[in-house]
Amino acid sequence: MNTEGPGTGDAVGGPPHPLVDVERLASVLGAPGIVVLDASVGAHRAVGRRIPGARRFDIDGAMSDGASPLPHTMPQAACFEAEMRAQGVNDTDTVVVYDAAGIYSSARAWWMLRAMGFDRVVVLDGGLPAWEAAGLPVEGRAAGGPCPAGDFTARPRPGMLVGSDALVEALADPCSAVVDARSRDRFAGIAAEPRPGLRGGHMPGALNLPFDAVQRDGRMLARRELRSAFRALAGSRERLVVSCGSGVTACVLALAAECAGYQEVAVYDGSWSEWGRPSDLPVATGPAH
């Protein structure tokens, strides 16, 4: 494992480092027990190509709870299990997740799988852009066909995805830091929220670390740089609760925190889509201090 940066050596095939580079994935692509999942969301789903053999991790669809009024909410364990089996994922497989933006929604898929008790999952550092920049092959989305059903078993882990009550507790806890992955202007309430009806601003006491600030050219920063970025915000606090607009890019911060060596990290699943709705939950505006 490379402790100074992602993607060398042993990220696929054993207890994995959270990231794998494109060269390592290319060397094992198509091998038995290696499953590649495309977790692209929104406009990035329109990209008409994929890594050969990649299957869907549909955060905009089956991999969100359709009964929830909030976007991108974690589905029930039984639904998650059924979808992973339909995608041919087995308990003994190693899963590589990627997206067409770089490191964006793939981190959400990584966190969801781990929250369901599955640890043999890594994120492709740089995603599809890095894969294509390396001259590696792609295929059309329509390529391939159904795969044999897998035996994936969901084993939910409490505390990895939390609600607003846990956020309130974390904001009052001197040992915890709440870190928001949205842009600085959205955090300050200067820029309008992309989802209608939401208040602008942030949770009082929250810190701001935009998700793209933990990356360089679409790849995760080195461990020492990540640790420095979190330390500059959170100081000596070792428990982090991360949030964003709808629970997607918060997971980029969760990924960055794990790469930086943090061991107590939770994702606020409802994120600003829940907190920002008209309610009694408090909202502050202005830049982070």
- Catalytically active residues, by annotation: 244
Closest CA to 42 of 59, 62, 55, 57: 59
For residue 235, count CB atoms less than 10 angstroms from its CB and return exposed for 0-12, middle for 13-18, buried for 19 or more.
exposed
Give the chain's radius of gyration (CA, Å). 18
In one-letter notation, the amino acid at residue 258 is: E
Bridge partners, 11 (sequence order): none
> Beta-strand (E) ranges in the chain?
19-20, 34-38, 49-50, 55-56, 94-98, 121-124, 139-140, 161-162, 176-180, 207-208, 215-216, 219-220, 239-243, 264-268
Distance (Å, rounded) from C-alpha 286 to C-alpha 3? 36
Distance (Å, rounded) from C-alpha 11 to C-alpha 25? 9
CB 262 within 8 A of CB 236: no
Q: What backbone phi and psi angles, to 5 degrees, belong to 28?
A: -120, 0
